[in-house]
Structure 1
Amino acid sequence: MATIVMLLLLVLGGADGSHIVGGRDAAPQSRPYMASLQIRGQHNCGGALVREDFVPTAAHCQIRGQYTVVLGADSLTANEATKQEFRAVRSIPHPDYTANENDIMLLKLSSRASLTQAVQLIGLKSGRMRAGGQCLTAGWGDVGDNGTSPERLQEVNVTILPQRTCSRRWRGVPITRTMVCGVGAGSIQGFCSGDSGGPLVCEGGAAGVVSFSGRRCGNPRTPDVYTRVSSFSDWIADVLRNN
């Protein structure tokens, strides 16, 4: 158990989470649901806009202070007229979150976003995800597994793995039914630090939340692990209904 905990600490590094390696520039405004969660102007985690005032992210992205949530961005450093900024006035992690289990959190924004060409909602995908299915994840995380931040939003294709295959590759780390695993098409391709909390998008809906990966980003020997959104649909609906 101690070995697993140490591995996850090395993987997650607190709230710093994960970056895209081996990906590509996303076309401007092609992922209008993407959110950048920032601390004092620095990107820390990703998220996706599911209601004008709510963004799901990873529970391990929770901080003691208050996030600034940036929507409508392509470059986080350029002065883009499409950007909208909000304070996260409430952080609501799943009540059963522990280490890498139930790694999902909802952020309530200080006001409702204005929907534009660059800022749009994404629906939550329900139902089963088949092994071999083709999905996509995006983020502003590390592109070189060395602390190198991208100039623009990055994206990478993801192939869903069978649960048994993922469990076998991760060995002693429990891969539960509330998780889904994926690998990139290349030998080293996937998410990395700073991508945590971003969406796994399958068939146009948010099917997962970036949770944890191995010591080396994008290594198929330790497949990328996402929180399975459909496992938490009732909890998400309850939080949105009561807020």
Structure 2
Amino acid sequence: MTIIISLLLLASLLPHLTFTAHVNVGIVNGREAKPHSRPYMVSLQKDGRHACGGSLISDQFVLTAAHCQKKNETLTAVFGAHNLKNKHDSVSISVKSYHKHPDFDTDTLLNDIMLLELEKKVQQNHNVKMISIPTQEEDIKPDSVCSVAGWGRLSFKGRKSNRLMETDVKIMNNTECKNKWNNHYSAPKMICVYGHGGSCSGDSGGPLVCGDTAVGVTSFGDPIVCNSRDRPEIYARISAYLPWICCIISNVK
């Protein structure tokens, strides 16, 4: 009975919280990634401090979450990093333009996806490489093992990690996720995951990777605790936005 009351209380608070706890979603119960084993990972920084994650999907575009940039904020994309304190290991490039999805909803976080056009093309090397995205709309089988990574908090109110952390997650059945999130979950446009480890404050915008393909963009989760099974992590489903992504990238002069 106590659990049911707690969940009902949480549900009543959700419209007012609007997922603010995960404005930047880190890795809990994870492990340190092998340095430069995820060369597509991008640290998006505000005033020299890590704010969000992202993934390099072309030589001039980073894919991230729309909520990672508030009005008039300026982001810098940092490539090739593992330990963010080691500035000499990375390359910083300014963002030229911000392409938020035109139907992004700041209240529900539906269509929480954004493309960042860089001031100049990224030079790829051993530490900096693009990651592939789906070529067509597709669904991922429940319980498929995928992974997430980021420089976010190691616990809900814990410290952020200077080193890139990672963990494995599993894809949750759409029906089960819908039952947990109700109208906040849109199966055609979102992916739901669960696992021993998961995202926390500091990793929004980072990729959900299945195999060697980025299939999701870290969007939101439980507003009061990280990696909750009752309110599992939600990712924007990249395959649902392929026409929009291709349109933005192809229009670059």
Which bracket does the TM-score occupy, shorter chain normalised?
over 0.9
- The reply on whether 1:58 has 2:65 as its aligned counterpart is yes
Alignment partner, residue 169 of structure 2: 158
- The reply on whether 1:238 has 2:247 as its aligned counterpart is yes
Q: 1 CA distance for matches of 2:66 and 2:162?
A: 26
* Amino acid in structure 1 at the alignment position of 2:209: V
Query: Aligned-pair distance for 1:3?
Result: 4.2
Alignment partner, residue 5 of structure 1: 15
CA RMSD for the aligned pairs? 1.5
Give the counterpart of 2:140 among 118, 124, 129.
129
Deviates more, 1:62-71 or 1:50-59: 62-71
* Amino acid in structure 2 at the alignment position of 1:112: K
Alignment partner, residue 21 of structure 1: 28
Across the two proteins, how many residue pairs are aligned to each other? Answer: 236
* Amino acid in structure 1 at the alignment position of 2:20: L
Verify the 8 A CA contact 1:166 1:181 in the aligned structure 2.
yes
TM-score normalized with structure 2 length:
0.89
Deviates more, 1:143-152 or 1:34-43: 143-152
Alignment partner, residue 231 of structure 2: 222
Give the counterpart of 2:55 among 48, 51, 76.
48
Q: 1 CA distance for matches of 2:17 and 2:125?
A: 41
Verify the 8 A CA contact 1:75 1:153 in the aligned structure 2.
yes
Question: Rg larger in 1 or in 2?
Answer: 2
Matches within 5 A, 1:190-205: 190-205=198-213
Matches within 5 A, 1:48-127: 48-63=55-70, 64-81=72-89, 83-99=90-106, 100-125=109-134, 126=136, 127=138
- The reply on whether 1:140 has 2:154 as its aligned counterpart is no
Query: Aligned-pair distance for 1:168?
Result: 1.1
* Amino acid in structure 2 at the alignment position of 1:52: D
Verify the 8 A CA contact 2:29 2:198 in the aligned structure 1.
yes
| Residues 145/3 of structure 1: CA separation in 2 closer, same or farther (3 Å cut) | closer
The answer for unaligned runs of 5 or more in structure 2 is 1-10
Q: 1 CA distance for matches of 2:21 and 2:181?
A: 13
Query: Aligned-pair distance for 1:207?
Result: 0.0
* Amino acid in structure 2 at the alignment position of 1:5: P
Verify the 8 A CA contact 1:124 1:207 in the aligned structure 2.
yes
Q: 2 CA distance for matches of 1:149 and 1:231?
A: 31
Give the counterpart of 1:183 among 184, 190, 194.
194
TM-score normalized with structure 1 length:
0.93
Give structure 1 regions of 4+ aligned residues with deviation exceeding 6 angstroms. none
Q: Deviations over 1:148-169 (max 9, x none)?
A: 0113100110100011101112
The answer for unaligned runs of 5 or more in structure 1 is none
